[in-house]
């Protein structure tokens, strides 16, 4: 695999001008993980516009493709779009197949723009490479290589061997950002982990009583539901469940398509999760991760997985993150209290900290975001890097990542 060669300034600018803006796509891609295969290509402004369209189509699968990536495809012949498609749901047709279906006979001699390298393996569906070759497509432009080891360049290779011209790396960063979690899992076996927090102007998250609801306004809460909807799983701690009894479902009125509800995962080392908890009673999958023997301590017949304990008796977070990856979760959202967030910060397990800052003051008795009792010296402080900042209604949304 060779690294992606830089596109020259003029062509890159055309691509940049056409880069669409979407709040979920602003997080910069990790440049060390962006790869493509082919040599520099004369990408034109038209190429960039069609790829931008393919990326927009891909985005329609934001809430529904799990564990698959979001992928869009545009088929163009004679300067005209003859077919469009996107991947809606795992097990259903891939973006290319959808677009080819719409293009019909007009795919012969056409160029296909795909936001991810076409697959060449038999998964739940047959390989897209063969569908493109059979349809008579003469050129395939991919935004990025598929990080799935079963594809990883072999899709473009297969196309090239069949005489199809292939190019890769157009709007690559945007494509990568759309599937950061999928890419992370394919490359490392672990998911992308986000933690969502809400705090007052004085950095407090809840009153001492534990009362923490409604710190932020309706816009921020709607935004948080979007975060839930795009996540494969929501992770919380047993203390939060016992205190707040959250539902942990994604409730959105403006979703572009169906929402595949995230799996609710409770870190519950002693298996105290009551069968009456709302996140258990509600439809959909709920899982307790515990350190005790799940079979003998499980009168409520919950889905329980037993994982190793850390030295402090709580769940070993490395084992938890590995389990989340093995469960094919791409994006994991943590919605938890200061204890779990403190442990996650301490261990460096979170990739994105999303903090909604509400313009209110909760006072000295209220709790902070992170429980880190061992932190007493300035030298031991944790530092984060601000990645994004925007108002959401009356609140401010801050996104932090690793420095
Ligand atoms: C594409 N186009 O639209 C998508 C691709 O089990 P399957 O058959 O659905 O295959 C899933 C894998 O295919 C997934 O892990 C990723 O590598 C690729 N996804 N590929 O050509 C698409 N969604
Ligand atoms: Zn495919």
Distances in whole angstroms, Cα of residue 359 to Cα of each of 11, 217, 301, 362, 393: 44, 10, 43, 10, 11
Question: Under DSSP, is residue 378 helix (H, G, I), strand (E, B) or coil?
Answer: helix
Q: Tokens 């943590």 label which residue?
A: 334
Give, as one character, the DSSP assignment of residue 104. Answer: G
Q: Tokens 């880190």 label which residue?
A: 372
* pLDDT score recorded for residue 52: 97
* pLDDT score recorded for residue 297: 64
Number of neighbouring beta carbons within 10 Å of residue 160: 14
Whole-angstrom distance, CA of residue 7 vs CA of residue 45: 13
Please tell me if the CB atom of residue 87 comes closer than 6 angstroms to any atom of ligand 1: yes
Number of neighbouring beta carbons within 10 Å of residue 378: 6
* pLDDT score recorded for residue 47: 95
* pLDDT score recorded for residue 379: 84
- CB < 8 Å & 24+ apart, contacts of 2-10: 2/37, 3/35, 3/36, 4/34, 4/35, 4/36, 4/37, 4/168, 4/169, 4/172, 5/39, 5/40, 5/169, 6/40, 7/40, 7/41, 7/43, 7/169, 7/170, 8/40
- Which residues does the annotation mark as catalytic? 96
* pLDDT score recorded for residue 10: 34
* pLDDT score recorded for residue 21: 32
Mean pLDDT for each consecutive 10-residue tract of the chain (403 residues)? 35 36 37 46 88 97 96 97 97 97 97 97 90 97 95 94 94 96 97 95 73 79 94 95 89 78 95 89 91 72 89 94 98 94 95 96 84 86 94 97 91
- What tokens were used for 62? 């934001």
Taking the CA of residue 98 as reference, the ligand 1 atom at the shortest distance is 3
Q: Is 336 exposed, middle or buried (0-12, 13-18, 19+ CB in 10 A)?
A: buried
Whole-angstrom distance, CA of residue 133 vs CA of residue 279: 47
* pLDDT score recorded for residue 255: 65
Number of neighbouring beta carbons within 10 Å of residue 380: 9
Provide the CA 67 distance to its chain's centre, in angstroms: 10
* pLDDT score recorded for residue 194: 97
Please tell me if the CB atom of residue 120 comes closer than 6 angstroms to any atom of ligand 1: no
From the CA of 1, how far away is ligand 1's center (Å)?
A: 20
Mutating to test ligand 1, I would choose from 94, 126, 135 the residue with most ligand atoms within 8 A of its C-beta, which is 94
Give, as one character, the DSSP assignment of residue 372. Answer: -
Three-state SS sequence of 260-325:
CCCEEEEECCCCCCCCCCHHHHCCCCEEEEECCCCCCCCCCCCEEEECCECCCCCECHHHHHHHHH
Spell out which residues have Cβ within 5 A of ligand 2, the ion.
94, 119, 128
């Amino acid at each position: 695999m060779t690294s992606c060669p830089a596109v020259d300034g003029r062509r890159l600018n055309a691509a940049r001008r056409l880069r669409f803006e979407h709040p979920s796509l602003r997080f910069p891609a990790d440049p060390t993980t962006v790869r493509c295969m082919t040599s520099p290509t004369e990408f034109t402004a038209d190429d960039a516009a069609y790829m931008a369209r393919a990326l927009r189509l891909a985005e329609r699968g934001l809430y529904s493709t799990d564990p698959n990536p979001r992928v869009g495809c545009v088929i163009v012949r004679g300067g005209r779009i003859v077919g469009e498609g996107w991947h809606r749901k795992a097990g259903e047709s891939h973006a290319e197949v959808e677009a080819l279906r719409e293009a019909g006979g007009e795919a012969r001699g056409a160029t296909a723009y795909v936001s991810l390298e076409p697959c060449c393996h038999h998964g739940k569906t047959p390989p897209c490479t063969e569908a493109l070759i059979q349809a008579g497509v003469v050129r395939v432009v991919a935004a990025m290589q598929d990080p799935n080891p079963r594809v990883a360049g072999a899709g473009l290779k297969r196309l090239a061997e069949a005489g199809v011209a292939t190019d890769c790396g157009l709007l690559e960063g945007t494509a990568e950002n759309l599937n950061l979690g999928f890419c992370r899992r394919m490359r490392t076996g672990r998911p992308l982990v986000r933690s969502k927090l809400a705090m007052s102007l004085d950095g407090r998250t809840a009153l001492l009583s534990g009362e923490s609801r409604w710190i932020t306004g309706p816009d921020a809460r709607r935004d948080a539901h979007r975060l839930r909807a795009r996540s494969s799983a929501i992770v919380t701690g047993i203390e939060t469940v016992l205190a707040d009894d959250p539902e942990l479902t994604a409730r959105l009125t403006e979703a572009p398509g169906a929402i595949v509800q995230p799996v609710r995962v409770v870190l519950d080392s002693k298996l105290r999760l009551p069968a009456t908890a709302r996140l258990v009673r509600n439809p959909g999958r709920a899982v307790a991760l515990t350190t005790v023997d799940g079979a003998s301590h499980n009168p409520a017949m919950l889905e329980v997985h037993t994982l190793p304990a850390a030295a402090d008796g709580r769940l070993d977070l490395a084992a938890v993150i590995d389990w989340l990856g093995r469960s094919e979760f791409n994006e994991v959202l943590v919605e938890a209290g200061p204890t779990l967030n403190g442990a996650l910060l301490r261990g460096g397990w979170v990739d994105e900290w999303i903090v909604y800052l509400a313009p209110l003051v909760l006072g000295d008795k209220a709790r902070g975001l992170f429980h880190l009792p061992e932190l007493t010296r300035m030298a031991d402080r944790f530092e984060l890097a601000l990645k994004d900042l925007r108002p959401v209604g009356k609140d401010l949304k801050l996104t932090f990542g690793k420095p």
